[in-house]
Amino acid sequence: MLTAGMKAPDFSLSDQHGNTVTPADFAGKKIVLYFYPRDNTPGCSRQACAFAGAYEDFKTMDVAVIGVSKDSVASHVKFAEKYSLPFILLSDPELQAIQAYDVWQEKKNYGKVSMGVVRSTYIIDENGVIEKVMPKVKPDTNAAEILEYLRGKA
């Protein structure tokens, strides 16, 4: 995993609207960059809905929320529409950001070992430096934990 204090890795990915997004687009703004395994799975849907529910709080604090998975842009469009997600979802089928942020790891599921995205969140400060690393987060509490952390810093 990357650690706090490191420069956040750069990337250039398409969002659910087909726009190219890079971390530089958010210079001067904090970013909550969360990685999740797959659109429309129970845990990922709960996590996305929790971020959507807290989105106004993030906006008030001028914090950008960005979700990243290896799903296609088309999949992200459906996922965002289904759950009325107001934030950016980035498509990373080539694992550009997923590998740069070291969240592509070995996972065990029902005794079977495979590679996949480990649900993780990074808070990146206004200068593009990793402020906080949250590995193996829980989908139901991730957004609330981040808000709590950010409010504690205010």
Residue 148 lies in a domain: yes
Is residue 54 included in any domain, yes or no?
yes
Instruction: Pick the catalytic residue from 21, 32, 44, 97.
Output: 44
**Residue 110 pLDDT grade (very low, low, confident, very high; cuts 50, 70, 90):** confident
DSSP string, the chain: ---TTSBPPP--EEETTS-EE-GGGGTTSEEEEEE-S-TTSHHHHHHHHHHHHTHHHHHHTTEEEEEEESS-HHHHHHHHHHHT--SEEEE-TT-HHHHHTT-EEEEEETTEEEEEE--EEEEE-TTSBEEEEE-S--TTTHHHHHHHHHHHH-
In a domain, 3, yes or no: no
- Residue-wise pLDDT for 67-80, tens only, equals 999 999 999 999 99
- 49: annotated active-site residue: no
Task: Answer yes or no: is 1 within a domain.
Answer: no
How many domains does the chain divide into? Answer: 1
Q: Which domain holds residue 60?
A: 13-153
Question: Is 6 a member of any domain?
Answer: no
Is 4 domain-assigned?
no
pLDDT band at 109 (very low <50, low <70, confident <90, very high): confident
Share of the chain above pLDDT 70, in %: 98
pLDDT for res 154: 53
pLDDT over 80 (residue 153): no
Binning pLDDT at 50, 70 and 90, where does residue 111 land? confident
Residue 1 has pLDDT above 90, yes or no: no
Is 72 a member of any domain? yes
Question: Does any domain span residue 8?
Answer: no
CATH number at residue 118: 3.40.30.10
Tell me what the mean pLDDT of segment 108-113 comes to. Answer: 86
